Amino acid sequence: MHDKMIKQYFKQAWYLIKQNKLFSGIYIAGTALGISMVMVMAIINHMKTANLYPETNRDRTLYLKTIIITPKDTTLKWHSSGGFSYKSCNMFFLSLKTPKLVSLEMDPVSKFVSLPNDSYLNRVQVRYVDNHYWDLFSFQFLFGKPFTEVDFRSGLPAAVISESLAKKLYGTIDVIGKYFECGFKEFRIAGVVRDVSYVLSGTYAQVWVPYTTTKSYNEEDNYHDGMIGSMRNIYLLAHSADDFDNIRTEVNENIRRYNAQSAEWNIDLAGQPDTKREEINRFWSNVGPDMHKIMLRNLLLVLLFLLVPAINLSGLNSTRMEQRMSEMGVRKAFGASRKKLFNQIFTENLLLTFAGGITGLLLSYLFISVSRNWILDLGKQIAETLPEGATVDFSMSMLFNFKIFLVVLLVCFAMNLLSALIPVFRSLRKNITDSLHIRYT
């Protein structure tokens, strides 16, 4: 009996929606607009922080990018910041006991690649990494395998290249053991991996080579005690996120020990190592992100995007309920209870909100697709230039997260329902006589 009543509610709600197409269209559009704006924010945040190929360990990885060094002579009011040197990495991170692994990466660079004795050059993104990089990130190898620890420690010119580069150079991805030139230096291809979308800018490249193939990776600057260098990405993979505090404690102890022993310099990491969420919000090398302020700002934006349509829909609901007073009076006269009438209004609101939610989801995908070349710069202090040949491709795992959509839809439904409650209760509290004698001009 209960199921039949629910089906009847939905049939009546669908009929009334079709009878009031203008109201239904405006209601759906208002809901869709609010949901689409929130979903764009949620999808971008999901792309930047979720475990996605090949960065499948984001939730248990800590990140460091810059080191800050100041003189102990307090009369000199200055500081210097930059990437880590190999010496500082070895001193502060490679000796850590708590992380599962530590991986170092130099600054990614843009270089030309070509086949040996071929004058045609292709500009690509090159990453200089260590052998632990392949254990940290889950690249899908289509052919071959990563360069080995022996290759890395010996500085042998072995390389991993992307699927698209292999096809561009050779017309096939079965190229293991073949050679190409990168930066006018010959490399042997050890493996071919599935392409990485530029959305994953932390791992995006077409070529990955051992940083030991560069002569400068362990050169020490005579200044700043040799602490500043070209290591721009330090990854600390934890066994679980529960180890983050212990890792930070161990890192801070290494920094404290250096500062106590050094006669000239003090080192500061400005709150690093960061979680992925902190890392993407760290805009300046010498200032850490205020995550409480950032979260509050994002929450206010979400409420604004959902509240403005809800307020507008409240006025629309009020006008519509006034127009339906006679209908409510007739149904009350034939024995309909307030509960039944309220359930009917609730069902209509549910259907309209669901339709608006689906429409909003599709609109958010359309907006992200159209603006794919700049959408990821939203929220950044400085826009990044898309590297030559880079493509911003979205997989379904990047675009759709059912939990996020469900939460946004439920919040929007709750706000829309609240916007409808006041006019509904006002109309249902009127007696039958007043409802039946409503006249319109």
pLDDT averaged over every residue in the chain: 81
Q: What is the pLDDT of residue 223?
A: 72
**Weakest mean pLDDT among 57-61, 65-69, 176-180, 397-401:** 397-401
Distance CA 141, CA 319 (A): 61
Residue with more model confidence, 22 or 170: 170
pLDDT over 70 (residue 431): no
For residue 425, name the pLDDT band (cuts at 50, 70, 90).
Answer: low
Q: For 8, what's the count of Cα atoms within 13 Å in the CB-facing half-sphere?
A: 8
Percent of the chain with pLDDT over 70: 74
pLDDT over 50 (residue 383): no
Mean pLDDT for 171-193 is 94
pLDDT digits (tens, 9 = 90+) for 195-208: 988 888 789 999 99
pLDDT over 60 (residue 96): yes
Residue with more model confidence, 364 or 425: 364
pLDDT over 80 (residue 415): no
Highest mean pLDDT among 231-235, 379-383, 384-388: 231-235
Type and span of the H or E element at 29: helix 21-49
Global pTM reads 0.80
pLDDT over 50 (residue 3): yes
Distance CA 426, CA 260 (A): 72
In which residue are the tokens 């709750």 written?
414
pLDDT over 90 (residue 247): yes
Q: What is the pLDDT of residue 440?
A: 43
pLDDT digits (tens, 9 = 90+) for 260-273: 998 889 999 999 99
**Weakest mean pLDDT among 89-98, 164-173, 346-355:** 346-355
pLDDT digits (tens, 9 = 90+) for 43-58: 888 888 888 889 999 9
For residue 397, name the pLDDT band (cuts at 50, 70, 90).
Answer: low
Tokens of residue 305, six digits? 């995007």
Distance CA 281, CA 295 (A): 11
**Weakest mean pLDDT among 141-150, 326-335, 429-438:** 429-438
Q: Do residues 221 and 229 touch, judged by C-beta distance below 8 A?
A: yes
> For residue 322, what are the CA distances in angstroms to 14, 53, 203, 314?
20, 54, 58, 12
For residue 369, name the pLDDT band (cuts at 50, 70, 90).
Answer: confident
pLDDT over 60 (residue 129): yes
**Weakest mean pLDDT among 160-164, 275-279, 316-320:** 316-320
Q: What is the pLDDT of residue 382?
A: 46
- Name which of 437, 440, 441, 439 is nearest 329 in CA terms: 437
Q: Do residues 93 and 251 touch, judged by C-beta distance below 8 A?
A: yes
pLDDT over 60 (residue 386): no
- Sequence-distant (≥ 6) Cβ neighbours of residue 328 within 8 angstroms: 341, 427, 428, 430, 435
Q: What is the pLDDT of residue 244?
A: 96
Mean pLDDT for 397-419 is 70
Mean pLDDT for 58-72 is 93
pLDDT digits (tens, 9 = 90+) for 267-316: 999 999 999 999 988 887 677 788 888 888 888 887 777 777 766 666 66
3-class DSSP state of 375: helix
For residue 414, name the pLDDT band (cuts at 50, 70, 90).
Answer: confident
Q: What is the pLDDT of residue 313?
A: 67
pLDDT over 90 (residue 239): yes
Q: How many Cβ atoms sit within 10 Å of the Cβ of residue 227?
A: 24
- Sequence-distant (≥ 6) Cβ neighbours of residue 317 within 8 angstroms: 419, 420, 423, 424
End-to-end CA distance of the chain: 41
Percent of the chain with pLDDT over 90: 38
Q: What is the pLDDT of residue 396?
A: 64
Tokens of residue 410, six digits? 């439920």
Range list of β-strands (E), 58-121: 61-64, 67-71, 80-84, 101-106, 109-114
Tokens of residue 102, six digits? 């530590």
Q: Do residues 255 and 269 touch, judged by C-beta distance below 8 A?
A: yes
- Sequence-distant (≥ 6) Cβ neighbours of residue 319 within 8 angstroms: none
pLDDT over 90 (residue 255): yes
Residue with more model confidence, 437 or 413: 413
Q: What is the pLDDT of residue 428?
A: 58
Q: What is the pLDDT of residue 88?
A: 93
